């Protein structure tokens, strides 16, 4: 009985201590900002993180989903989300892409299955994106074949909008 009376206050103190730690953790979680940056001295608001992910997902999906029947819209969508080196490269290759897509009657559809920000500052970010999709063309005899991509996108904030300035296949 004496042991029981000694344990009750200890259990109560443990529960109260746990509640205090939990409340402090919740308070700190509400103040989340991304502070990992290339220079190490910039704080990036958490809202910018979701903006970067949305822009990268949109560009990756546009890049990996194109149809020979509606090439102008597909190419325009990629160009809308592009800037700098990537935009110039894509514009240069658009004529060849059109010819190849029409000759082969190609159609690619993709969906984003995973995306994550690797690094981010106020004006630049690197995002990895995984897509899952299908391609059909004359080589596949019109039958859809699985085609998955792993992409690395470097984005730059231009006039408040996140645009892709480099896109690479990885893995």
Main-chain phi, psi angles of 147, to 5 degrees:
-145, 110
Name the band, by pLDDT with cuts 50, 70 and 90, for residue 105. very high
What is d(CA 76, CA 80) in angstroms, rounded to the nearest whole number? 6
Q: Which of 161, 81, 156, 144 is nearest to 107 (CA)?
A: 144
More confident residue, 30 or 169: 169
Whose structure tokens read 């009376």?
5
Could you give the domains of the chain? 48-169 (3.10.450.540)
**Polymer length in residues for the chain:** 171
What is d(CA 25, CA 150) in angstroms, rounded to the nearest whole number? 35
pLDDT surpassing 60 at residue 88: yes
- pLDDT score, position 44: 80
- pLDDT score, position 1: 52
pTM, 2 dp: 0.74
Q: What would the pLDDT profile of 6-61 be if each residue is shown by its tens digit?
A: 445 545 445 444 444 445 544 444 433 333 334 333 578 888 899 999 999 999 99
What is d(CA 143, CA 23) in angstroms, rounded to the nearest whole number? 56
Q: Which of 90, 74, 94 is nearest to 82 (CA)?
A: 90
Q: What would the pLDDT profile of 117-140 be if each residue is shown by its tens digit?
A: 999 999 999 999 999 999 999 999
Instruction: Give me the mean pLDDT over the 68-97 stretch.
Output: 95
């Amino acid at each position: 009985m004496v042991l029981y009376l000694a344990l009750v206050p200890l259990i109560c103190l443990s529960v109260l201590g746990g509640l205090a730690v939990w409340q402090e953790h919740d308070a700190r979680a509400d103040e989340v900002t991304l502070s990992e940056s290339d220079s190490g001295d910039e704080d990036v608001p958490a809202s910018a993180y979701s903006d970067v992910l949305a822009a990268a997902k949109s560009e990756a999906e546009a890049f990996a989903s194109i149809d020979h029947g509606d090439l102008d819209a597909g190419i325009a969508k990629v160009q809308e989300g592009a800037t700098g080196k990537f935009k110039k490269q894509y514009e240069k290759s658009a004529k060849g892409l059109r010819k190849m897509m029409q000759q082969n009657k190609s159609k690619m559809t993709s969906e984003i299955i995973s995306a994550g920000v690797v690094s981010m500052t106020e004006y630049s970010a690197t995002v990895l994106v995984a897509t899952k999709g299908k391609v059909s063309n004359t080589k596949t005899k019109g039958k859809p074949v699985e085609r998955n991509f792993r992409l690395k996108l470097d984005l730059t904030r231009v006039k408040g909008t996140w645009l892709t300035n480099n896109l690479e296949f990885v893995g």
